[in-house]
Amino acid sequence: MSKRFDRRNFIKTSILGISMASAAGMPVSAGVAVADEQKPIIAKQQIPSGKICDLTIGRMILGGNLLAHYTHSRDLRYVYNLAAHYNTPQKIFETMRIAEAHGITAVVIHTAKGVIDGMREYKKQGGKIKWIVCPTAKITNDMTEYKQLCQECVNAGVDILYLWGVRGDQLIKNPELIRKAVDTMRSFDVPVGVAAHQLAAIEICEQEKIKCDFYLKTLHHHNYPSAKLNHDSSWCETPDKVIEFMAKVEKPWIAFKIMAAGAIPPKNALEYAFSNGADFTVFGMFDYEIDEDTRILNNVLNMDKVKNRPRKWFG
Protein backbone atom coordinates (compact mmCIF):
# COMPACT_ATOMS: atom_id res chain seq x y z
CA MET A 1 0.00 0.00 0.00
CA SER A 2 2.82 2.44 0.78
CA LYS A 3 4.01 2.46 -2.83
CA ARG A 4 0.61 3.58 -3.99
CA PHE A 5 0.44 6.43 -1.50
CA ASP A 6 4.05 7.41 -2.08
CA ARG A 7 2.90 8.54 -5.51
CA ARG A 8 1.57 11.49 -3.58
CA ASN A 9 4.71 13.22 -4.69
CA PHE A 10 2.27 15.62 -6.20
CA ILE A 11 4.10 17.97 -3.87
CA LYS A 12 5.92 18.83 -7.08
CA THR A 13 2.64 20.28 -8.31
CA SER A 14 1.99 23.92 -7.46
CA ILE A 15 -1.37 25.05 -6.20
CA LEU A 16 -0.47 28.67 -6.56
CA GLY A 17 2.57 28.59 -8.81
CA ILE A 18 3.61 31.38 -11.13
CA SER A 19 2.85 29.53 -14.35
CA MET A 20 -0.69 28.65 -13.28
CA ALA A 21 -1.31 32.18 -12.06
CA SER A 22 -0.22 33.57 -15.39
CA ALA A 23 -2.46 31.12 -17.22
CA ALA A 24 -5.37 32.28 -15.09
CA GLY A 25 -4.62 35.89 -15.96
CA MET A 26 -3.91 36.79 -12.34
CA PRO A 27 -1.20 39.13 -11.05
CA VAL A 28 1.68 37.44 -9.27
CA SER A 29 3.52 38.62 -6.20
CA ALA A 30 6.45 36.56 -4.87
CA GLY A 31 5.13 33.52 -6.69
CA VAL A 32 1.66 33.80 -5.18
CA ALA A 33 -1.45 34.50 -7.19
CA VAL A 34 -3.26 37.54 -5.90
CA ALA A 35 -7.00 37.51 -6.50
CA ASP A 36 -9.16 40.57 -6.80
CA GLU A 37 -10.21 42.13 -3.51
CA GLN A 38 -13.10 40.13 -2.09
CA LYS A 39 -16.12 41.10 -0.04
CA PRO A 40 -16.49 39.51 3.41
CA ILE A 41 -17.94 36.00 3.29
CA ILE A 42 -21.39 35.66 4.82
CA ALA A 43 -22.54 32.09 5.37
CA LYS A 44 -25.93 31.65 3.72
CA GLN A 45 -26.45 28.35 5.52
CA GLN A 46 -25.01 26.44 8.43
CA ILE A 47 -24.02 22.83 8.91
CA PRO A 48 -23.81 20.92 12.20
CA SER A 49 -20.46 21.31 13.93
CA GLY A 50 -18.36 19.84 16.69
CA LYS A 51 -15.20 20.64 18.62
CA ILE A 52 -11.58 19.69 18.19
CA CYS A 53 -10.04 21.02 21.36
CA ASP A 54 -11.37 24.60 21.53
CA LEU A 55 -11.97 24.98 17.80
CA THR A 56 -15.45 24.67 16.31
CA ILE A 57 -15.32 22.59 13.13
CA GLY A 58 -18.17 21.76 10.75
CA ARG A 59 -18.96 18.06 10.41
CA MET A 60 -18.06 18.30 6.71
CA ILE A 61 -14.47 19.44 6.05
CA LEU A 62 -13.32 20.51 2.60
CA GLY A 63 -10.76 18.04 1.23
CA GLY A 64 -7.57 19.44 -0.24
CA ASN A 65 -6.61 16.78 -2.79
CA LEU A 66 -8.68 18.22 -5.62
CA LEU A 67 -7.30 21.66 -4.84
CA ALA A 68 -3.83 20.16 -5.25
CA HIS A 69 -4.96 18.44 -8.48
CA TYR A 70 -4.49 14.98 -7.00
CA THR A 71 -7.55 13.06 -8.09
CA HIS A 72 -6.87 9.36 -7.38
CA SER A 73 -8.30 8.74 -10.83
CA ARG A 74 -7.15 5.13 -11.18
CA ASP A 75 -5.67 4.68 -14.67
CA LEU A 76 -7.45 7.69 -16.17
CA ARG A 77 -4.34 9.79 -16.26
CA TYR A 78 -5.89 12.69 -18.17
CA VAL A 79 -8.05 13.51 -15.15
CA TYR A 80 -5.02 14.91 -13.33
CA ASN A 81 -4.50 17.43 -16.13
CA LEU A 82 -8.20 18.15 -16.26
CA ALA A 83 -8.27 18.98 -12.54
CA ALA A 84 -5.23 21.22 -12.90
CA HIS A 85 -6.80 23.15 -15.77
CA TYR A 86 -10.09 23.56 -13.91
CA ASN A 87 -8.78 24.34 -10.44
CA THR A 88 -6.75 27.41 -11.30
CA PRO A 89 -5.48 29.54 -8.40
CA GLN A 90 -8.49 31.83 -8.79
CA LYS A 91 -10.88 28.86 -8.80
CA ILE A 92 -9.23 27.38 -5.70
CA PHE A 93 -9.88 30.55 -3.71
CA GLU A 94 -13.40 30.76 -5.15
CA THR A 95 -14.06 27.16 -4.07
CA MET A 96 -13.00 27.90 -0.51
CA ARG A 97 -15.18 31.01 -0.41
CA ILE A 98 -18.18 28.99 -1.65
CA ALA A 99 -17.44 26.36 1.00
CA GLU A 100 -17.39 29.03 3.71
CA ALA A 101 -20.67 30.46 2.41
CA HIS A 102 -22.23 27.01 2.86
CA GLY A 103 -21.12 26.69 6.47
CA ILE A 104 -17.91 24.70 5.93
CA THR A 105 -15.36 25.97 8.43
CA ALA A 106 -12.19 23.97 7.71
CA VAL A 107 -10.04 22.52 4.95
CA VAL A 108 -7.67 19.54 5.23
CA ILE A 109 -4.60 19.79 3.01
CA HIS A 110 -0.94 18.76 2.67
CA THR A 111 2.03 21.08 2.44
CA ALA A 112 2.14 20.74 -1.34
CA LYS A 113 4.12 23.43 -3.13
CA GLY A 114 2.36 26.77 -2.74
CA VAL A 115 0.00 25.74 0.06
CA ILE A 116 1.68 27.75 2.82
CA ASP A 117 1.81 30.90 0.69
CA GLY A 118 -1.76 30.27 -0.44
CA MET A 119 -2.95 29.93 3.15
CA ARG A 120 -1.30 33.21 4.04
CA GLU A 121 -2.82 34.97 1.02
CA TYR A 122 -6.33 33.57 1.59
CA LYS A 123 -6.29 34.73 5.20
CA LYS A 124 -5.03 38.13 4.05
CA GLN A 125 -8.07 38.39 1.78
CA GLY A 126 -10.35 37.83 4.77
CA GLY A 127 -10.97 34.08 4.50
CA LYS A 128 -11.94 32.57 7.85
CA ILE A 129 -11.74 28.89 6.97
CA LYS A 130 -9.57 26.94 9.43
CA TRP A 131 -6.53 25.16 8.02
CA ILE A 132 -5.89 21.57 9.10
CA VAL A 133 -2.48 20.87 7.61
CA CYS A 134 -0.07 17.95 7.60
CA PRO A 135 3.64 18.75 7.14
CA THR A 136 5.11 16.33 4.60
CA ALA A 137 8.74 16.76 5.64
CA LYS A 138 10.82 13.71 6.53
CA ILE A 139 10.50 12.45 10.08
CA THR A 140 13.91 11.63 11.53
CA ASN A 141 15.34 11.18 15.00
CA ASP A 142 16.54 14.76 15.17
CA MET A 143 13.22 16.06 13.72
CA THR A 144 15.05 19.01 12.14
CA GLU A 145 13.22 19.20 8.79
CA TYR A 146 9.89 18.33 10.35
CA LYS A 147 10.12 20.98 13.06
CA GLN A 148 11.15 23.60 10.52
CA LEU A 149 8.13 22.89 8.31
CA CYS A 150 5.81 22.88 11.32
CA GLN A 151 7.17 26.32 12.22
CA GLU A 152 6.53 27.59 8.69
CA CYS A 153 2.95 26.34 8.87
CA VAL A 154 2.31 27.97 12.24
CA ASN A 155 3.90 31.24 11.11
CA ALA A 156 1.51 31.26 8.15
CA GLY A 157 -1.51 30.81 10.42
CA VAL A 158 -2.26 27.08 10.46
CA ASP A 159 -4.98 26.19 12.96
CA ILE A 160 -4.39 22.45 13.39
CA LEU A 161 -1.46 20.16 12.56
CA TYR A 162 -1.57 16.44 11.93
CA LEU A 163 0.73 13.58 11.01
CA TRP A 164 0.43 12.82 7.29
CA GLY A 165 -1.33 9.51 6.65
CA VAL A 166 1.53 8.33 4.45
CA ARG A 167 3.94 8.85 7.34
CA GLY A 168 1.55 7.20 9.78
CA ASP A 169 1.58 4.06 7.63
CA GLN A 170 5.35 4.14 7.18
CA LEU A 171 6.03 4.44 10.91
CA ILE A 172 3.88 1.55 12.10
CA LYS A 173 7.02 -0.32 13.17
CA ASN A 174 8.57 2.75 14.75
CA PRO A 175 6.06 4.18 17.22
CA GLU A 176 8.70 6.31 18.93
CA LEU A 177 9.05 8.37 15.76
CA ILE A 178 5.29 8.82 15.70
CA ARG A 179 5.53 10.04 19.28
CA LYS A 180 8.37 12.41 18.39
CA ALA A 181 6.40 13.83 15.48
CA VAL A 182 3.32 14.35 17.65
CA ASP A 183 5.36 15.94 20.44
CA THR A 184 7.04 18.23 17.90
CA MET A 185 3.67 19.41 16.59
CA ARG A 186 2.32 19.83 20.11
CA SER A 187 5.21 22.14 20.97
CA PHE A 188 3.57 24.76 18.73
CA ASP A 189 0.48 24.91 20.96
CA VAL A 190 -2.08 23.88 18.33
CA PRO A 191 -4.40 20.84 18.24
CA VAL A 192 -2.59 17.79 16.86
CA GLY A 193 -3.88 14.69 15.10
CA VAL A 194 -2.58 11.45 13.62
CA ALA A 195 -3.72 10.22 10.21
CA ALA A 196 -3.40 6.77 8.68
CA HIS A 197 -4.73 4.52 5.97
CA GLN A 198 -3.63 1.43 7.90
CA LEU A 199 -5.58 0.72 11.08
CA ALA A 200 -2.41 -0.53 12.77
CA ALA A 201 -1.08 3.02 13.02
CA ILE A 202 -4.10 4.12 15.05
CA GLU A 203 -3.97 0.96 17.17
CA ILE A 204 -0.33 1.72 18.01
CA CYS A 205 -1.15 5.28 19.05
CA GLU A 206 -3.80 3.98 21.42
CA GLN A 207 -1.63 1.17 22.79
CA GLU A 208 1.39 3.42 23.29
CA LYS A 209 -0.76 6.26 24.66
CA ILE A 210 0.63 8.75 22.17
CA LYS A 211 -0.90 12.05 23.16
CA CYS A 212 -2.79 13.34 20.13
CA ASP A 213 -6.10 15.18 20.13
CA PHE A 214 -7.87 13.38 17.27
CA TYR A 215 -7.46 10.84 14.49
CA LEU A 216 -7.93 10.95 10.75
CA LYS A 217 -8.67 7.44 9.51
CA THR A 218 -9.90 6.27 6.13
CA LEU A 219 -13.32 4.66 6.02
CA HIS A 220 -15.30 3.38 3.07
CA HIS A 221 -17.11 0.16 2.16
CA HIS A 222 -16.11 -2.01 -0.78
CA ASN A 223 -19.41 -2.00 -2.65
CA TYR A 224 -18.12 -0.38 -5.81
CA PRO A 225 -16.69 -2.00 -8.96
CA SER A 226 -13.04 -0.91 -8.71
CA ALA A 227 -12.62 -1.70 -4.99
CA LYS A 228 -10.54 -4.80 -5.75
CA LEU A 229 -8.75 -3.34 -8.75
CA ASN A 230 -5.62 -2.66 -6.67
CA HIS A 231 -4.77 0.33 -8.81
CA ASP A 232 -5.04 3.42 -6.62
CA SER A 233 -8.64 2.47 -6.00
CA SER A 234 -9.06 1.49 -2.34
CA TRP A 235 -7.89 3.15 0.89
CA CYS A 236 -9.58 1.23 3.69
CA GLU A 237 -8.65 -2.44 3.58
CA THR A 238 -10.74 -3.65 6.52
CA PRO A 239 -13.66 -1.26 7.13
CA ASP A 240 -15.42 -3.64 9.55
CA LYS A 241 -12.32 -3.83 11.74
CA VAL A 242 -11.94 -0.05 11.60
CA ILE A 243 -15.53 0.44 12.76
CA GLU A 244 -15.09 -2.10 15.55
CA PHE A 245 -11.86 -0.57 16.82
CA MET A 246 -12.89 3.07 16.55
CA ALA A 247 -16.04 2.31 18.55
CA LYS A 248 -13.75 2.07 21.60
CA VAL A 249 -11.68 5.17 20.82
CA GLU A 250 -12.65 8.21 22.88
CA LYS A 251 -11.29 10.93 20.64
CA PRO A 252 -12.75 12.80 17.68
CA TRP A 253 -12.48 10.82 14.47
CA ILE A 254 -12.24 12.57 11.11
CA ALA A 255 -13.00 10.00 8.42
CA PHE A 256 -11.41 10.58 5.03
CA LYS A 257 -11.58 8.90 1.61
CA ILE A 258 -15.21 8.13 2.45
CA MET A 259 -16.25 8.37 -1.22
CA ALA A 260 -13.29 6.21 -2.29
CA ALA A 261 -12.14 9.11 -4.46
CA GLY A 262 -15.48 9.55 -6.18
CA ALA A 263 -16.50 5.90 -6.58
CA ILE A 264 -19.19 6.06 -3.88
CA PRO A 265 -22.08 8.57 -4.16
CA PRO A 266 -22.09 11.36 -1.53
CA LYS A 267 -25.25 10.31 0.34
CA ASN A 268 -24.17 6.70 0.54
CA ALA A 269 -20.69 7.68 1.72
CA LEU A 270 -21.89 10.14 4.37
CA GLU A 271 -24.51 7.76 5.71
CA TYR A 272 -21.95 4.95 5.98
CA ALA A 273 -19.32 7.10 7.66
CA PHE A 274 -21.50 8.85 10.22
CA SER A 275 -23.68 5.88 11.13
CA ASN A 276 -20.53 3.84 11.75
CA GLY A 277 -18.91 6.29 14.11
CA ALA A 278 -17.15 9.12 12.28
CA ASP A 279 -17.47 12.50 13.98
CA PHE A 280 -16.31 14.57 10.98
CA THR A 281 -15.81 13.76 7.32
CA VAL A 282 -13.34 15.07 4.75
CA PHE A 283 -15.13 15.74 1.48
CA GLY A 284 -13.27 16.51 -1.72
CA MET A 285 -15.46 18.77 -3.87
CA PHE A 286 -15.32 20.97 -6.90
CA ASP A 287 -17.02 24.34 -6.45
CA TYR A 288 -20.23 23.30 -8.23
CA GLU A 289 -20.73 20.30 -5.91
CA ILE A 290 -20.68 22.15 -2.61
CA ASP A 291 -24.29 23.36 -2.53
CA GLU A 292 -25.76 19.91 -3.12
CA ASP A 293 -23.30 18.08 -0.89
CA THR A 294 -23.92 20.32 2.12
CA ARG A 295 -27.67 19.80 1.72
CA ILE A 296 -27.09 16.05 1.59
CA LEU A 297 -24.97 16.32 4.73
CA ASN A 298 -27.74 18.03 6.68
CA ASN A 299 -30.25 15.40 5.58
CA VAL A 300 -27.95 12.53 6.54
CA LEU A 301 -27.18 13.96 9.97
CA ASN A 302 -30.93 14.08 10.62
CA MET A 303 -31.38 10.37 9.90
CA ASP A 304 -32.35 8.23 12.89
CA LYS A 305 -29.64 5.66 12.14
CA VAL A 306 -27.06 8.44 12.34
CA LYS A 307 -28.47 10.26 15.36
CA ASN A 308 -28.86 6.96 17.23
CA ARG A 309 -25.65 5.31 16.09
CA PRO A 310 -23.77 2.99 18.50
CA ARG A 311 -20.63 5.12 18.86
CA LYS A 312 -20.83 8.18 21.06
CA TRP A 313 -20.25 11.52 19.33
CA PHE A 314 -16.90 13.08 20.09
CA GLY A 315 -16.00 16.62 19.24
Q: pLDDT tens digits, residue range 170-209? A: 999 999 999 999 999 999 999 999 999 999 999 999 999 9
- How many percent of the chain have pLDDT more than 70? 88
β-pairing, 106-110 vs 60-63, is parallel
User: Minimum mean pLDDT among 36-40, 63-67, 129-133, 293-297: which range?
Assistant: 36-40
pLDDT of residue 38: 65
pLDDT at 27 over 70: no
CB of 109 closer than 8 Å to CB of 68: yes
Stronger pLDDT, 2 or 45, i.e. the higher one:
45
Q: pLDDT tens digits, residue range 238-259? A: 999 999 999 999 999 999 999 9
pLDDT at 22 over 60: no
pLDDT at 138 over 80: yes
- Fold for the domain defined by 2-40+48-307: TIM Barrel (3.20.20)
Q: Where are the domains of the chain?
A: 2-40+48-307
Q: Share the mean pLDDT of the chain.
A: 88
Stronger pLDDT, 293 or 6, i.e. the higher one:
293
Please choose, from the candidates 4, 13, 121, 47, the residue with its C-alpha nearest in 3D space to the C-alpha of residue 291: 47
pLDDT of residue 37: 56
pLDDT of residue 50: 97
How confident is residue 40, by pLDDT bands cut at 50, 70 and 90? confident
pLDDT of residue 33: 42
Give mean pLDDT, residues 75-79: 87
Give mean pLDDT, residues 227-237: 93
pLDDT of residue 26: 34
pLDDT of residue 311: 98
CB of 184 closer than 8 Å to CB of 148: no
Give mean pLDDT, residues 211-222: 98
d(CA 222, CA 74): 15
pLDDT of residue 68: 81
Give mean pLDDT, residues 88-94: 93
User: Minimum mean pLDDT among 24-28, 139-143, 242-246, 261-265: which range?
Assistant: 24-28
pLDDT of residue 103: 96
pLDDT at 77 over 80: yes
Give mean pLDDT, residues 264-286: 98
Give mean pLDDT, residues 9-24: 37
CB neighbours of 131 closer than 8 A, spacing ≥ 6?
106, 107, 109, 119, 157, 158, 159, 160
